[in-house]
Structure 1
Amino acid sequence: MKMKLKYLVIHCTATPEGREVTKADIEQWHLVGRGWSRVGYSDLIQLDGALVNLQEFNQDDLVDPWEVTNGAKGYNSKARHVVYAGGCENKAGLPAKDTRTKAQLKALETYVKFMVLRHPEIKVIGHNQIAAKACPSFHVPSWLNHIGINSKNIGL
């Protein structure tokens, strides 16, 4: 069943600052490690700002069953999930830290603004706003205000 796209959820990979993450890494973690049928994110923003598609999707206002990713329980059928490589200070996964590079900041800003332009009713949220997690390791509403996102598109 198709659901209306309501959310863009921002995530981090919870990997150490400076560690690159690939599509193959995420597939290994989610499909093999967790046994999921699909990865948890639609797109990945690498350290250099490159955008890597992880799960095909179209740009309409509906989430088709083939587009669903496993990013946040209870939200997957009505959300897109974007993840940036990083989010932790060290390899033990602690503490949470905003490790976004300048290139990632620019790419994520462009991504969010495109999604809001394409889907004017979408709400942009951090994973930590809907789950007891530090991910994405920064306060999404403050950052969205900082980059000029309309308040109607911020939060729940």
Structure 2
Amino acid sequence: MAKLRYLVLHCTATPEGRAVTSDEIRRWHTAPVAKGGRGWKQVGYTDMIHLDGKVERLVSNNEDAEVDPWEVTNGAVGYNQISRHVVYVGGCAKDGKTPKDTRTPQQLEALKRYVLNFHAKHPCVRIIGHNEVAKKACPSFDVQRWLRSIGINQ
């Protein structure tokens, strides 16, 4: 068990408007490498925000300020033991390659509610984008600027 220190925001890096299911995410992350997956033991995210704004729990947790071994997800190398991870569906332009903030109005509202609620429960936990701890475009928007726009100044 470790103290929760980060909430990491992600995107699925899928083309704008393309729906993604939790089964797909699980397959991408946990299928053997030989079968096109990453071979992980656990999916990479605690929660997923669908195009319509629905928030789906992928890995259960007890909502406390500790990361129990059964709550660990594989969202960011070196940060998984001390983080929770939330992903929104999208993050790429229609070409499937170019990073783009593709959050729908419903996703924007759902992510805002999610983050504000999380921050109210865990004000000492730092909220970051995956790109702040890895050389990636994910989540395809400036998390710190967005946080300020919704009233969170870390």
Bin of the TM-score, shorter chain as denominator length? over 0.9
Of 141, 146, 149, 1:143 maps to 146
Q: Does residue 1:39 correspond to 2:56, yes or no? A: no
What SS class does the counterpart of residue 57 from structure 1 fall into? coil
Question: Using the alignment, how far apart are the partners of 2:139 and 2:57 within structure 1?
Answer: 19
Taking structure 2 as the reference length, what is the TM-score of the superposition?
0.95
Question: Using the alignment, how far apart are the partners of 1:25 and 1:52 within structure 2?
Answer: 13
Question: Using the alignment, how far apart are the partners of 2:93 and 2:123 within structure 1?
Answer: 35
Identity of matched residues, %: 58
Amino acid across the alignment from 1:100: R
Question: Using the alignment, how far apart are the partners of 1:79 and 1:130 within structure 2?
Answer: 12
Residues 16-43 of structure 1: per-residue CA shift (max 9 Å, x gap) = 0000111101001001111100000000
**1:53, CA displacement in angstroms?**
0.5
Q: Please name the residue that 2:12 is paired with.
A: 13
Aligned residues: 149
Q: Does residue 1:78 correspond to 2:77, yes or no? A: no
Amino acid across the alignment from 1:66: W
**1:94, CA displacement in angstroms?**
1.5
Taking structure 1 as the reference length, what is the TM-score of the superposition?
0.94
Long gaps (5+) in structure 2: 32-36
Q: Please name the residue that 2:34 is paired with.
A: none
Backbone CA RMSD of aligned residues: 0.7
Q: Please name the residue that 1:96 is paired with.
A: 99
Q: Please name the residue that 1:23 is paired with.
A: 22
Question: Using the alignment, how far apart are the partners of 2:130 and 2:93 within structure 1?
Answer: 18
Question: Using the alignment, how far apart are the partners of 1:21 and 1:5 within structure 2?
Answer: 28
